[in-house]
Homo-oligomer: A and B are copies of this chain.
Amino acid sequence: MSEPVKKEVLIRARKILDEYLNDQNLRKTTERYAVLDELYKLPQDEHIDVESLFLKMRNKEYTISRATVYNSIDLLVECGLVVKHNFKDKNALYEPALTYEHHDHLVCNECFKIKEFLDPAIEDIKARVGESLSSKIKLHSLVFYGDCTISNCENLQRKQATS
């Protein structure tokens, strides 16, 4: 299993949030930092939805409301500390933004496991398209959906075992 983000990254993320809240004259509430912490504690390839994050936090020391999880996570997306994904047909999923290089996602059609990849050619496409359609492209979302070709995929086996 992949490791959660290093402590230094979390510290850097907290600092960025500090600055953002200062700049925007927003208040430094414990809830905002708590949501940041929880998201940055996720293992590398895990993506979480708001409801799961809410329940997870409720099961710990936190007393936080659903509405505040929604508000805080939106704020974290705005200041670039968290990335929001809208994969096919699913609720929004979130992951920390500072942790690793920018990456894209491959969703398995069979077990729904999400794998990450990085292919620099996407930047070339972005440059060409931005040029030809007169747009300064800020963000992209690239998702592949495929069938696993590993003969006994552990994710699929685990999924079958539980259903």
Contacts and interface: CB of A to CB of B under 8 A. Distances in A.
A143 B145 contact: no
Nearest to A124: B121
17 contacts: A86-B89, A106-B129, A106-B133, A109-B138, A119-B125, A121-B125, A125-B142, A134-B148, A135-B146, A135-B147, A136-B148, A136-B149, A139-B144, A139-B145, A140-B144, A141-B141, A142-B142
Given A87-B86, A135-B108, A130 B142 contact: no
A145 B121 CA distance: 17
A70 to B, nearest CB: 13
A133 B132 CA distance: 32
Nearest to A148: B135
Interface residues of A, number: 38
A142 to B, nearest CB: 5
Nearest to A141: B143
A117 interface: yes
A-B complex: 7 closest residue pairs judged by Cβ atoms: A135-B146, A137-B146, A139-B145, A136-B147, A119-B125, A141-B143, A137-B144
